[in-house]
């Protein structure tokens, strides 16, 4: 970020104010309003902060108009095609792709931290059996601060490093335990001879009564899901983590806050919404009816999983995810799963429909990830927890970047007050 010679001039009544303009390495220039309140006694108004940069960051860049997603400068499709999740984790955390020795060391550190404290098992049994896995994860991750006192001092670089590794390593174990608890099966301990994605699949689907062999196609698809959801700039949950961390809260509490925000259906529940949309359609013969409804602006029905709030052209993650979806469906088939049959036909018809093509309403990453997870056998209640496993490295990377930023201040958004003006209190007998 660099200050340019350009200035923005703001006129308020008879007064004018010159505001500095900052230039990023990618993306639009930014008008610096940090001193505006002190100079002019006014705030800016931007509900949802959709036109406001809340921080500067070197981690992820998105150009929604062009369909670009970069992690530390590397396009997401190249990372998903040529790399794997833990290598991308290293990139997000440390800024550069690792050497072979660095990657081996990092993978070893993550692998050796996948077990959770045995006493934490008791937390799970305190929840009702029908508790949503996200509720369990929010509580258990927050409780990690009560177990790992050697990694809660945010001002200690070593504490930050240990906390980062622990969160990345233990999140899939916690998510799998939440799933196992919800279906009444025993917890499955992680194994150090499996990779990150394969280990997660085994912890979710193996049972003591028989051996479980990780299918490499399913493991690769799971790894891609993790990779494609690893970070997404200053989205709602990432901003929540940053806001929580600005108060000096410990890392486990901050990530628990991110999980709680991700739980919302407008955020982490998007792939679940896409699958539920397919279930509403029900059978392939009803697809034309629902596509017509989706095109009717007076009909409340929305065909979820098409288009994206950020990407106005195409979702760069979707192409890679579609390849994984095709591989998984070729392996597992769709004959006995009507939802997957509907998904394949919806994709075909929408891509041939001028309404969708002209408006660039292409299938997004949530459409394909929902299909993959359904085919693997995950219930929709596990879709968002899997998203949380993926996004943990993004949250941790953004958290570390913020803590290490000398400009860090506690978050304090302003407001446009619309309540009553000051008035005098009236005793109850005179009201």
Looking at the annotation, which residues are catalytic?
308, 366
Q: How far apart are CA 346 and CA 364, in angstroms?
A: 13
* Segments in 6-99 forming alpha helices (H): 36-40, 76-82, 85-94
Length of the chain equals: 431
Q: State how far the Cα of 420 lies from the Cα of 431, in Å rounded to an integer.
A: 17
Alpha-carbon span 50 to 66, nearest angstrom: 18
CA angle 115, 261, 178 (to 5 degrees): 35
CA distance linking residue 87 with residue 92, whole number of Å:
9
Count of alpha carbons within 13 Å of 94, Cβ hemisphere only? 15
164 in Cβ contact with 254 (< 8 Å) = no
DSSP element (H, E) containing 15: strand 15-23
Contact 343, 281 (CB under 8 A): no
- In angstroms, what CA-CA distances link 237 with 39, 138, 308, 352? 32, 13, 17, 35
Residue 20 to residue 28: CA distance in whole angstroms: 14
Nearest-angstrom CA–CA distance, 122 and 6? 59
Tokens of 130: 């029908």
Here the tokens at position 75 are 């396009």
Local structure of residue 305 (DSSP, 8 states): T
């Amino acid at each position: 970020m660099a200050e340019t010679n350009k200035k923005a001039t703001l006129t308020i009544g008879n007064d004018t104010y010159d505001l500095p303009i900052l230039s990023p390495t990618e993306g639009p220039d930014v008008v610096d309003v940090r001193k505006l309140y002190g100079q002019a006694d006014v705030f800016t108004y931007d509900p949802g902060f959709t036109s406001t940069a809340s921080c500067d960051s070197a981690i992820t860049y998105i150009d929604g108009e062009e369909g670009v997603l970069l992690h530390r400068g590397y396009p997401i499709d190249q990372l998903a095609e040529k790399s794997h999740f833990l290598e991308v984790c290293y990139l997000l955390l440390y800024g550069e792709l690792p050497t072979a020795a660095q990657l081996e060391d990092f993978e070893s550190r993550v692998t050796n931290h996948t077990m959770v404290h045995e006493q934490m098992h008791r937390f799970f049994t305190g929840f009702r059996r029908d508790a949503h896995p996200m509720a369990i994860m929010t509580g258990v991750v927050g409780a990690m601060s009560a177990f790992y006192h050697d990694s809660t001092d945010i001002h200690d670089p070593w504490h930050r490093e240990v906390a980062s590794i622990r969160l990345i390593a233990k999140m899939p174990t916690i998510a799998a335990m939440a799933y196992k608890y919800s279906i009444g099966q025993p917890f499955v301990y992680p194994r150090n001879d499996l990779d990150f994605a394969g280990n997660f699949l085994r912890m979710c689907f193996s049972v003591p009564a028989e051996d479980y062999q990780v299918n490499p196609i399913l493991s690769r698809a799971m790894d891609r899901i993790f990779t494609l959801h690893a970070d997404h700039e200053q989205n709602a949950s990432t901003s929540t983590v940053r806001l929580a961390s600005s108060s000096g809260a410990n890392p486990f509490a901050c990530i628990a806050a991110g999980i709680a925000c991700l739980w919302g259906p407008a955020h982490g529940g998007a792939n679940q919404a896409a699958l539920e949309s397919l279930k509403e359609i029900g059978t392939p013969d009803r697809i034309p009816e629902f596509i017509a409804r989706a095109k009717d602006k007076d009909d409340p029905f929305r065909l979820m999983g098409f288009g994206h709030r950020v990407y106005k052209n195409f979702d760069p993650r979707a192409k890679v995810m579609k390849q994984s979806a095709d591989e998984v469906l070729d392996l597992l088939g769709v004959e006995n799963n009507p939802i997957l049959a509907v998904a394949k036909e919806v994709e075909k018809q929408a891509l041939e429909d001028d309404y969708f093509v002209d408006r660039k309403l292409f299938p997004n990453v949530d459409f394909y990830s929902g299909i993959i997870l359904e085919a693997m056998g995950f219930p929709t209640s596990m879709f968002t927890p899997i998203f949380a496993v993926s996004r943990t490295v993004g949250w941790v990377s953004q958290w570390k970047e913020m803590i290490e930023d000398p400009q860090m201040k506690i978050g304090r958004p302003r407001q446009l007050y619309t309540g009553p003006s000051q008035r005098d209190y009236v005793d109850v007998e005179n009201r």
